[in-house]
Amino acid sequence: MNSHNYRRNEFSVEKELNIKDDESNFRNFFNNIDDFLFVLDLNGNIIETNNAVTRLLGYTKEELIGKNVLFVHPPEFRDQAQITVGEMISGISESCPIPLISKTNTYIPVETRVYFGNWNGEKSLIGVSRNLSEIAFSESKFHEVFDNSPEIMAISEIDSGIFIDANKIFLNTLGYTKSEIIGKKSSDLKLFQDPLIRSEIVQKINNNITLENENVITQTKNGQLLNFLFSATKIKIQTKEYLLTSASDVTQIKNIEKKLNHNLLQQTLLADISQNLNSLNKIEQKLNDTIELLGKHTNVSRVYIFEDEADGLTTNNTFEWCNESISPQIEELQGIPYEAIPSWKKILNENGKVFSTNIKELPDDLYQILEPQGIKSILVLPLYVKEKFYGFMGFDECVLNKTWEHDEIELLRTISNIISNTFERIIIKKQLSKSKEQLSMAIENTEAGLWDWNIVTGEVYFSDIWLRMLGYDRSEVEPNVSSWEKLVHPDDMPDVEKALNDHLTGKTEFYEATHRLLCKSGAWTWVLDKGKVIERDAHWNPIRAIGTHFNIENQKETELELKRINATKDKFFSIIAHDLRGPIGALMQMIDYINDKEDEISNDVLFSFLKKLKYLTKDTFTLLENLLYWSMESNNELLAEPKIINAKDIIKTNIGLSNYISKSKNQTITAEINDDFFVYADENMVNLIFRNLLSNAMKFTPINGKIKISVIENSQFVQISILDSGGGISKENIEKILSDDNFHTSRGTSNEKGTGLGLKLCKDFIKKNNGAFFIESKIGKGSTFVFTLPKP
């Protein structure tokens, strides 16, 4: 029977008791109601019971009539029942929760109310005991689930907050006994870190706001703070509403989450510091930023770095960060001698750290220097550079005795290693900078251009001297090996590549090559290129090479000049030994023959010998003259002395002097020159030029051949052409004739010998007189030798 029906029945009972005129209906209702009904006299003795009493308690009416009503209550509750009944009669209590006991000693849960009434015309008490067996069974199941729930659960009054029950896990987790909880408020026990939490929960519940999995921090009996996911709802017990709260202990999860966040913060800190110190640019500022990051992460009072002097006897505070309200000490901590704190370096070297949560526990020499700074606890880690003690990094706490976690100490140890590495890189950079400066000075003194080649990436650093040597600005040469390859003379590249590859593959100890590089001016300059691989990987592949370019242009010019002089000397002696010795020997033989046969030689024979002697003498003179001029030219002793001369006269004179030779080969020489023409040039040189070119034409023109001389004038130059009808000259031989380095010789049509000296002098003398010289020829068609001279 539900509560609504119960109230209705209760009302009906009251109504029926007041209605005397319908006894039959009342009796029927009285005996058929499911609740226990007792009619008592004013002393509490049983006068009448309904059928439910006899049926459920197992007594007969005879066994109960006349007995005090306390008889149907368990003996142990009878005193309390008597008191409660009295309180109900006096109006202090509304009901009595004490159970009934059956004849078989079974306890039956009931809720009993007592009313005044009349029975058979006498004043009486009517006791109505509501049978709560079914409700008790439900409540029993609820309490079984409630008490054995894996979640923390409690029941409290909504308005007052007084606990009326708490389950086992609640008591075990928070450390209370049930007697310490029941009748107390959460504020009495200081369960919530925020005292307003419960009132906020009640407000949400009263406003029908779902409260589920709210994060709440709760304090245990011993003061430990735990994290719970908190839920709450209203429940109804009998006729009254209560607050049922449940919570899952997520402290371990929160701790793991906190640990993960802490680890993430540590990793982020480590990454930030590593990245910050990756470059040595503005390194002092970066080190100050680093210790600031460390100070804010650890929330200590002071973070600092000390660096030792070179002798290792004293140390200096070089970097410092201070938290708010903490006084800096850096100015006072300069030149600190280790002999004043002998334990310091000893502990750092032996233990790897100076560490104490209470500096009073440290050796006295350390306490005496730390205590005036207001330090309560300390952590100091050594810095090593190149395996040598360099200094230390420290963390001071001046407010409280700080407790350090193991993983935090290890993080700071890792960071101290990064800082040690940074100092090592700073030292190496300074040493490298000094070495580079010394090398640069040495290179400056030798005027050598430096190159530094990253073979893996192809990047090349070219020094300022290297750029200056070739006349380039840095922006005009890309810093890569392709730029160098483009500047190397194509003719030199094969030898350069071979020498370079031999060294890169380890066949040679170093690389060396002599080649030409293209200057900005367009000229080629000779360099001595020397270098060496200074870094290779594990597989012996080259990674980096450095080297120099020495400008050897002057040396090369000297070398070429020496080669030219040697060639000139060789040619000179060759002419003396062969070309000059032959004609002079012939002259001597003819003269000896004439002298020996003076009486036997006829006049005709003698005249013939004299003509030959004249020819040989003239030819030898020409050769000697050319040799003399060439010697003077080779020694830069011959200067042009230009003047206005009649070139027509020089041409006619040389044609006349050559008549004997041309007639001997029956050659025809024609000169298409009608008027005088003048040039501004050295007369002797022009005479030699024309004589050699005419002699060359007669030599290579066959018997009965023709030689034509023509002159063309313009406003600035006179062009003189000598055309022969010889066999022609190949393009290759023309290049040799015009070359500065070659003497080209060949036999004439009558087997005449040549030295190549005449044409070389022609080319040089024409140039000295500001003229031009070129050759036009076709094989089998003859050749035309053309030169120009300036007009006055």
Average pLDDT over residues 574-580: 47
Instruction: Please report whether residue 146 resides in a domain.
Output: yes
Instruction: Please report whether residue 611 resides in a domain.
Output: no
232 shares its domain with 273: no
* Tokens read off for 49: 């019971």
Phi, psi values for residue 788, rounded to 5°: -120, 150
pLDDT at 4 over 90: no
pLDDT higher for 373 or 580?
A: 373
- From 204, 220, 249, the end of a domain falls on 249
Rounded to the nearest 10 degrees, how much is the dihedral formed by the CA atoms of 487, 493, 496, 501? 110
What is the reported pLDDT for 335? 94
The set of residues, in sequence order, having a beta carbon less than 8 Å from that of 52 and lying 6+ positions away, is 33, 34, 35, 36, 37, 131
What is the reported pLDDT for 109? 86
Total domain count, the chain:
5
477 shares its domain with 401: no
What is the reported pLDDT for 16? 47
667 shares its domain with 748: yes
pLDDT at 338 over 60: yes
Q: Over the stretch 116-125, which tens digit does the pLDDT of each residue have?
A: 888 888 899 9
pLDDT at 337 over 90: yes
284 shares its domain with 420: yes
- Residue 195 banded pLDDT, cuts 50, 70, 90: confident
Tell me the CATH number at 680.
3.30.565.10
- Residue 578 banded pLDDT, cuts 50, 70, 90: very low
Angle, nearest 10°, between helix axes 603-634 and 757-768?
Answer: 50
Burial class (CB in 10 A: 0-12, 13-18, 19+), 154: buried
Burial class (CB in 10 A: 0-12, 13-18, 19+), 96: buried
pLDDT at 581 over 60: no
What is the reported pLDDT for 628? 64
Rounded to the nearest 10 degrees, how much is the dihedral formed by the CA atoms of 616, 617, 619, 624? 140
Q: Over the stretch 347-389, which tens digit does the pLDDT of each residue have?
A: 999 999 998 888 888 999 898 988 888 899 999 999 999 889 9
Phi, psi values for residue 644, rounded to 5°: -80, 120
How far apart are the C-alpha atoms of 233 and 206, rounded to whole Å?
A: 10
Q: What is the bridge-based pairing of β-strands 643-646 and 542-551?
A: unpaired
- From 499, 529, 551, the end of a domain falls on 551
Phi, psi values for residue 571, rounded to 5°: -65, -40
What is the reported pLDDT for 286? 93
pLDDT higher for 206 or 601?
A: 206
What is the reported pLDDT for 3? 42
Tell me the CATH number at 545.
3.30.450.20
Instruction: Please report whether residue 570 resides in a domain.
Output: no
Q: 388's torsion region: left (phi>0), alpha (psi -120 to 50) or beta?
A: beta
Instruction: Please report whether residue 608 resides in a domain.
Output: no
pLDDT higher for 629 or 292?
A: 292
370 shares its domain with 480: no
CA angle 158–163–166, rounded 5-degree value: 120
Instruction: Please report whether residue 231 resides in a domain.
Output: yes
CA atoms within 13 A on the CB side of 706: 5
Sequence letter at residue 655:
I
468 shares its domain with 540: yes
Strand spans (E) along 648-700: 668-672, 678-681
Instruction: Please report whether residue 596 resides in a domain.
Output: no
- Sheet with 460-462, edge to edge strand ranges: 460-462, 448-454, 542-551, 524-536, 511-518
Average pLDDT over residues 31-37: 83
Please state, for a pLDDT cut of 90, what percent of the chain lies above it.
Answer: 35
Instruction: Please report whether residue 580 resides in a domain.
Output: no
Q: 299's torsion region: left (phi>0), alpha (psi -120 to 50) or beta?
A: left
Q: Over the stretch 407-446, which tens digit does the pLDDT of each residue have?
A: 889 999 999 999 999 999 898 888 877 776 766 666 566 6
pLDDT at 757 over 80: no
680 shares its domain with 785: yes
CA atoms within 13 A on the CB side of 495: 12
Beta bridge partners of 511: 531
CA angle 314–432–481, rounded 5-degree value: 160
What is the reported pLDDT for 2? 42
Check: CB of residue 669 under 8 Å from CB of residue 707: yes
- Residue 746 banded pLDDT, cuts 50, 70, 90: low
pLDDT higher for 456 or 781?
A: 456
118 shares its domain with 16: yes
Phi, psi values for residue 191, rounded to 5°: -70, -40
Mean pLDDT, the chain, integer: 83
484 shares its domain with 415: no
468 shares its domain with 394: no
664 shares its domain with 745: yes
Q: Over the stretch 546-555, which tens digit does the pLDDT of each residue have?
A: 999 988 888 8
Q: Over the stretch 584-613, which tens digit does the pLDDT of each residue have?
A: 655 676 677 677 777 777 777 777 767 667
Write out the H or E segment, with its range, that includes residue 513. strand 511-518
pLDDT higher for 58 or 135?
A: 58
How far apart are the C-alpha atoms of 738 and 560, rounded to whole Å?
A: 18
Average pLDDT over residues 221-225: 90
Coil, helix or strand at residue 306? strand
pLDDT higher for 752 or 292?
A: 292
Instruction: Please report whether residue 661 resides in a domain.
Output: yes
401 shares its domain with 454: no
How far apart are the C-alpha atoms of 701 and 748, rounded to whole Å?
A: 8
Average pLDDT over residues 647-661: 82
What is the reported pLDDT for 379? 94
- Residue 227 banded pLDDT, cuts 50, 70, 90: confident
What is the reported pLDDT for 205? 82
What is the reported pLDDT for 586? 57
Check: CB of residue 416 under 8 Å from CB of residue 385: no
Sequence letter at residue 590:
M
Phi, psi values for residue 447, rounded to 5°: 55, 40
Domain around 161:
136-249
Tell me the CATH number at 379.
3.30.450.40
- From 116, 131, 146, the end of a domain falls on 131
